[in-house]
Amino acid sequence: MYRYIINGGKKLYGESYVSGSKNASLPILAACIISGKTTKLYNVPDIEDVRITLEILKDLGCKVKKEKNKIIINSKYMTETTIPENLMRKLRSSVIIAGAIIARFKKAQFSYPGGCDIGSRPINLHLENFKKIGIKINENTRYIECSCDKIESKNIELDFPSVGATENLILASVLGTQEVVIKNSAMEPEIVDLAQFLNRMGANVYGAGTNVIKIKGVTTLKDTSYKIMPDRIEAGTLLIAGAITGGMVKINSIIPEHISPVLNKLEEVGCEIKISKNAVYLNANQKLKAVNIKTMPYPGFPTDLQPLFSTLLTICEGTSIISENIFENRFKFMQEIQRMGAQIAIEGKTLIIKGVKRLHSADLESTDLRGGAAMVLAGLCAKGTTRVSNLKYLIRGYENLDKKLRDLGADIIREEGE
C-alpha cells in the first residue's frame, strides 16, 4: 500500500487545479445505463471510486472504453440487473446504480451497502420512497430485490434531504409516462450536474438545485457527450492547505459559489480571499483566529470539508466549536491529529478545539477519505517529517493529490509502503 511522506512547516505558494467531481461522476456514470446508447464523459477523475463504478458497469454488460481525456460507455448490450455484492461492499454509494437499472429494466437486485468509518450509512430513505413510486421491494433474501410494472406518478417528501436518495429517485423516474415530484430534495451542485446530464440525454428533470425536483418520464434517450463539473471538495481541500501553512495559493478551474460557506469561514478565520469567475486566491499571512462551524446540507457548510477545516482550526488562536450535523461519526480522524499536539475534546456531535501555536510531526494512519486528507494537511503544517499511511481511502476520492500539493510547493512524496 502507499503512504505519503511529508516534510512540513513550509508556507505553500503557487497555483494548482482540481479534477472533475467524484460525487457528480458517480451518479452520472450510473445514469449512462438508462439510455442504452453511447455516452462520452469528459473530466471524469481517475480515482478508485470511479474505477469500481466502471467495473460494476462492465459486470452489468456495458462496454467501457477509457481514452486519454474521456470515458466512452455503451450500455446497449447490457442485460444484467444485479449489482455484484463484492463491488457493492467496496463502494456503498453504488446503491444509486439500482435506480438507473430499475429505470431501464423495471427490476434490480443489490446487497446492503454496509457502513463506513463516518457512520452507519442506512438506505431507508431510498427504499421507503422507491415503494412510494410503485417499486416492490423484497428484503428477505441475500439481495434486496426491486421490481415494478412501471414507475407511478407521485408527490413524495424526503424526511431528510439525502443526496443519494434524491439521486436514486431521479434516476429511477427518468423513463416512462409518470410525473414524480420530490420535495425536501437535496440541493447539492452534484445533483444539478446529474440533472443537466440527464436533460442533455433527453430527460425532463426540473428544479435541480432547489428543494423541489420534478421528473417527467420520457420514452427514449440519446447518445450524449458531457463534461463533469469541477470537484468542490478538492477545491476546498487545496485552499485549506494554503491556509494551514500560512501560504498564498490560487486554485484554478473551480466554481467559487459551490464553496461559498467555506470561503466565508476562511475569511472569518483571517485569510484574504479574492474570487474570480473560475478561480480563488487565498493569502493566509495574518494570525488566524478560532471560528465556529455547523455542517448542514447544501447550501450550508459541507460535511466533507469539516475534517479539513477542523484540522485548520487546531492552529487557530482561541476556542472553536464544530457541530457535525450530517454524519454521526465524523471526528474519528481527530484522534490521529491529537497525536500531533492538537488540543481537542469530543462531545457526541460536537468537537471543541483549543488552538495551539503549532502541531508537531507524527506517523499517522488514515481512517477514511476526508480524514486522511486532513492528516495530509496537518503534516504540511507541522515542522518535521509526517507519514500518512493507509492511503487506500484517500485515493478513492483524490486524483494525484500529492502532485497538486507539489504544484503549491509542498514537500510531499508518495512511497510504496508495506
Number of neighbours of residue 285 by Cβ within 10 angstroms: 11
Q: Is the CB of residue 12 less than 8 Å from the CB of residue 402?
A: no
Window 275 to 314, contacts with ligand EPZ (CB under 6 A): 303-304
Enter the C-alpha cell of residue 4: 505519503
CB of 18 to ligand EPZ, least distance (A): 13
Q: Does 213 bind ligand EPZ (CB under 6 A)?
A: no
Instruction: Looking at residues 65 to 104 of the shown chain, list those that interact with ligand EPZ (rule: CB under 6 A).
Output: 93
Applying CB under 6 A, which of residues 32, 171, 369, 375 lies at the interface with ligand EPZ? 369
Give the three cell numbers for residue 291: 471560528
Judged by CB under 6 A, the chain residues 217 through 246 that form the site for ligand EPZ are: none
Q: Least separation, in Å, of the C-beta of 293 and ligand EPZ?
A: 15
Q: Which residue has the cell 451497502?
A: 113
H-type helices in 141-259, by residue range? 163-172, 189-201, 232-244
Q: How many CB atoms lie within 10 A of CB 392?
A: 13
- Smallest distance, ligand EPZ to C-beta of residue 130, A: 10
- Residue 76, amino acid: K
Q: CB-based contacts of 239: which residues, under 8 Å, 6+ apart?
A: 249, 251, 259, 262, 263, 266, 280, 282
Which of 234/402 has CB closer to ligand EPZ? 234
Name the DSSP class of 152: P
CB of 328 to ligand EPZ, least distance (A): 6
Cβ distance to ligand EPZ smaller for residue 45 or 397:
397
> Are the beta carbons of 166 and 232 closer than 8 angstroms?
no
Q: Report in angstroms how near the CB of residue 146 gets to ligand EPZ at its nearest.
A: 14
Binders of ligand EPZ in range 143-162 (CB under 6 A): 160, 162
Whichever of 41 and 284 has its CB closer to ligand EPZ, that residue is: 41
- Residue 185 bridge partners (DSSP): none
Does 165 interact with ligand EPZ (rule: CB under 6 A)?
yes
Residue 62 falls in the annotated catalytic set: no
Cβ of residue 370: shortest distance to ligand EPZ, in angstroms?
5
Contacts to ligand EPZ from residues 109-128, by CB under 6 A: 119, 121-126
C-alpha to C-alpha distance for 187 and 210, rounded to whole angstroms: 5
CA–CA separation, 140 and 96 (whole Å): 20
Measured CA to CA in angstroms, residue 402 lies from 172, 367, 377, 409, 413 at distances of 38, 18, 11, 10, 6
- Does residue 370 belong to the site contacting ligand EPZ (CB under 6 A)? yes
Among 15, 12, 18, 384, CA closest to 229: 18
Query: Which residue, 42 or 160, has its beta carbon nearer to ligand EPZ?
Result: 160
Smaller CB distance to ligand EPZ: residue 281 or 331? 331
Q: Which residues of 231-267 are buried (b: 16+ CB within 10 A; e: fewer)?
A: bbbbbbbbbbbbbbbbbbbbbeebbbebbebbbebbe
Of 173 and 361, CB closest to ligand EPZ = 173
Give the nearest residue (CB) to ligand EPZ: 164
Nearest approach, Cβ of 231 to ligand EPZ (angstroms)? 9
* x-or-dash string of contact with ligand EPZ, 25-44, rule CB under 6 A: -x------------------
Binding site for ligand EPZ (CB under 6 A): 22-23, 26, 93, 119, 121-126, 160, 162-165, 186, 303-304, 326-327, 369-370, 397
| Catalytic residue IDs | 116
